[in-house]
A and B are shown apart, each in its own frame.
Chain A
Amino acid sequence: MSAAFKNIAALVGVIVAAACLQACGKISATDPADTVVASLPQAAMTNYAENCSACHGANGVNGAARQLADANYLASVGREALINITTNGVPGGFCPGSGPASLAHWNPKQVAEFVDGMLDAWGKNGVALSIPWSVKLAPAGNASNGQAVYAATCQSCHGAPGATVASASGSVTDPNYLRLITDQGLRSAILFGRPERGMPGWSGPFPHQAVDRKLSSQEISDVVVFLRSTASQKQ
């Protein structure tokens, strides 16, 4: 008798297990990632989770690519340029964009809703930079000036160009790195830093510098040109 009851209990277990499996399947199939910042509007959140979170991180932070949940970045770049980047991606970079021509197929309305959702959720109280963020608007740089600025502000973490010992934060003069990052990527990294990784933006504080040391637009252009020159020297 008791053996029979065990069999029935096992059967019930099988049914329940089958049900749980089905439930899991349903949840993973239909749920958008629920880890995205909740204040992104629903449609934008779903689109972000399906198309952007892989590189930019689940919450717009802590991804391998630029942090998007950065109010000052969003404010400085501005709605129009954000719509352009979201639609067309980054030329020469990895971001493929999500516009009508991309695999994501967002229509212009979806792009605008997404950017507005991002500005609304992550861009509150952002302060736009007083210097141009875009390389297109930046002054032409000078490599030898850039070398001096690099030595004074960057070298303590990123090491001297051509150094054979690993630096604390890794080399930014590695020729392979420089082949993969665009000038805009370099300028944005210097302007806005990588706050989630501990890298300060243009206003510092850089180690061994006064807290308020700010790089000028010209100095940043110089550093970018200098970094490029290190790669071409090697080649």
Chain B
Amino acid sequence: MFRTIKNMVGGLLGWTESRSGVITFVQPILTHRVPRDAKWWYVFGSASLMFFSIQVITGILLATMYVPSAAEAYSSLQYIDQQVPFGWMLRALHAWSSNAMILMVVIHMSQVFLHASFKFPRELMWMVGVLLLFCTLALAFTGQIMRWDQDAYWGLGIGAAIVDRVPMLGNQMRNVMLGGPYIGGATLSRFFALHVFVLPGLTIGLIGAHMALILKNGISEMPKPGMVVDPKTYVAEYEERIKKTGVAFMPDAAQRDMVFCGLMLIIVGFLAWYLGPVGPNGIPNPTIIDANPRPDYAFLWIFTAMALMPPQIETAVLLIAPPIVVLFLLGLPLISNRGERAPSRRPGAVVVYVLTATALGTLTWLGVVSAWSPVMDAWTSLPTPVKYLVGRTPLEMQGALVIQHSQCRNCHSLGGEGGLRGPNLDNVGSRKSWDQLVRQVQQGGGNMPAYGKNLSSAETTAVVAFMTTLRNAGAPESTIPGAMERQSSPDQAPKAVVGDVGQ
């Protein structure tokens, strides 16, 4: 019996092989030799590929339920989240696996850059890889549009505004991007086409090219100081070393890929289950002005840069910087395709990398905090910290009300809550004297608007009286002398003990 089955399977395989040559094709791929020292540093490319595969599978399943029309996209997402069994998990996996894919691609690229694996003869691999990076980011951006919520709407709006700045062609380019002069049903349709047909197809093709080039050129070895790349001799030397010390990809290197990919899969599965799907947030309606749109993680750094950039250089930076970055990334292996590979011998490259990573990390973090943006509902929703009300006089209590009512806390935090746009007020009484506070409130300055016309003298007096009580335990009242006479009132006279009773 067993023998019969074995014969049948063998016969089937032989039949297929003789007509397709599939085994002859696959076997050398699986057993191609890789450097022995290619260890855990080399797993990130495989992990990127795995996450892309998950994106394809979950994406196809989502496409069976998602309705790419402006009227129904939002409700179809809610349907997937709430009605379809495990639909929420499908969306969560798609979202978190996309974040993980971007992270893996970035780490993979960092490793290749730091180890200078892009040097001869792997220049083309790097270039294809750069294109894959752009495809990944484009997939992430268009995927964010698929949510068709406030984030999507304003993300598109900002994208369109950037495109619009291109000289001469800006209007036409924006029309092509949005399918008309404004965001509408045609916009979603074309981004859907990009997200599910054009970009995945392009990505699959580029991945194929990337893999073919790996087989052609082999995986680079771990860099060693002094082991220079010389295009004249490199290929022969590499093949010699690989023949001597290399190991077969399957199973020696593949098993590490599998362990790492399995681990990542468990983590992303856990994240998807624990954190759930991303969005959809508020409905995409431009008349809702209390929207608080934020781009996804991969684009937070752009969000920050746009927010903090001086307006007069915006157009120049937006039009000049991207081509420079693209040209630098694509041209990198042409500029430098020989010589040392070890990071210790390439301090310039390491500095460039560290600076770039720090800048992107900082901009991303600032985007998460977005301190430049007032907290628009702080004045109605954040209670005055109770410790700042204990032992205060009636006038000071009125001052606390002025702080809330005049929306000071949208920009100034109290007790760690409120906007970060202006300095926090927790210890303002020991930083500024009565007179300075009056001047600051009335005349503004340092990015603060003047409130002289908006507050009555009684309100100003009350709010300043309250602020002078805001001092850290033991901190003295600021005594910088000012020109103004303090008005005589018992509550405004210096007190023996004014303190932050709660602290």
Contacts and interface: CB of A to CB of B under 8 A. Distances in A.
Given A4-B40, A54-B379, A177-B394, A170 B386 contact: no
Interface string A1-30: 100110110011011101101110110010
A171 interface: yes
Nearest to B278: A22
Given A7-B40, A15-B100, A170-B394, A54 B383 contact: yes
Interface in A136-183: 158-159, 163-167, 169-172, 174-177, 179-181
A7 B490 contact: no
A169 to B, nearest CB: 7
B189 interface: no
Contacts of A104: 380
B8 interface: no
A19 B264 CA distance: 13
A174 B404 contact: no
Interface stretch (A61-69, A72-80, A107-115): A61-69
B462 A180 contact: yes
Interface string B369-385: 00000000111111110
Nearest to B96: A19
B417 to A, nearest CB: 10
Interface string A187-206: 00000000001000000000
A7 B382 CA distance: 42
Contacts of B398: 64, 176-177, 180-181
Contact of B458 (A50, A62, A176): A176
Nearest to A11: B107
Interface residues of A, number: 56
A40 to B, nearest CB: 15
B271 A15 contact: yes
B489 A175 contact: yes
Given A164-B493, A177-B462, A170 B395 contact: yes
A25 B268 CA distance: 18
B275 A54 contact: no
Given A54-B382, A177-B394, A180-B398, A26 B495 contact: no
A164 B494 CA distance: 11
A25 B458 CA distance: 39
A14 B368 contact: no
Nearest to B397: A64
Interface in B293-349: 294, 297
B477 interface: no
B41 A55 contact: no
B394 A8 contact: no
A15 B40 CA distance: 17
Interface in B4-18: none
A57 B386 contact: yes
A19 to B, nearest CB: 5
Nearest to A234: B489
A163 B377 contact: no
Contact of A171 (B267, B384, B394, B402): B394
B490 A14 contact: no
A86 interface: no
B395 A54 contact: no
Interface string B445-479: 00000000000111101100100000000000000
B39 interface: yes
Contacts of B400: 64
Given A51-B380, A164-B488, A170-B396, A179 B458 contact: yes
A38 B292 CA distance: 28
Question: Among A18, A23, A179, A180, which residue has the most Cβ atoms of chain B within 10 A?
Answer: A180
A166 B495 contact: yes
B243 interface: no
Nearest to B409: A54
Contacts of A64: 384, 389, 397-398, 400-401, 404
B381 A50 contact: yes
A122 B45 CA distance: 61
A212 B318 CA distance: 75
A22 B368 CA distance: 9
Question: Among B99, B294, B397, B400, which residue has the most Cβ atoms of chain A within 10 A?
Answer: B397
B491 interface: yes
A123 interface: no
Question: Among B378, B396, B398, which residue has the most Cβ atoms of chain A within 10 A?
Answer: B398
Contacts of B53: none
Contacts of A56: 383
A53 B99 contact: no
B428 interface: no
A43 interface: no
A128 interface: no
A131 interface: no
Given A15-B271, A49-B381, A55-B405, A166 B490 contact: yes
B238 interface: no
A58 interface: yes
Nearest to B492: A174
A69 B260 CA distance: 57
A8 B405 contact: no
A55 B381 CA distance: 8
B393 interface: yes
B39 A165 contact: no
B392 interface: yes
Interface string B153-168: 0000000000000000
Interface string B257-295: 000100100011001001100100100000000001010
A57 B389 CA distance: 11
A176 B489 contact: yes
A33 interface: yes
A23 B275 contact: yes
Nearest to B41: A4
B490 A63 contact: no
Nearest to A25: B368
B366 interface: no
A174 B395 contact: yes
A150 to B, nearest CB: 14
A7 B41 contact: yes
Contact of A55 (B107, B267, B404): B404
Interface string B72-103: 00000000000000000000000010011001
Contacts of B397: 64
Given A54-B384, A57-B384, 4 more contacts: A58-B383, A171-B489, A176-B458, A179-B456
Interface of A: 1, 4-5, 7-8, 11-12, 14-16, 18-19, 21-23, 25-26, 29, 33, 49-58, 62-65, 94, 96, 103-104, 158-159, 163-167, 169-172, 174-177, 179-181, 197
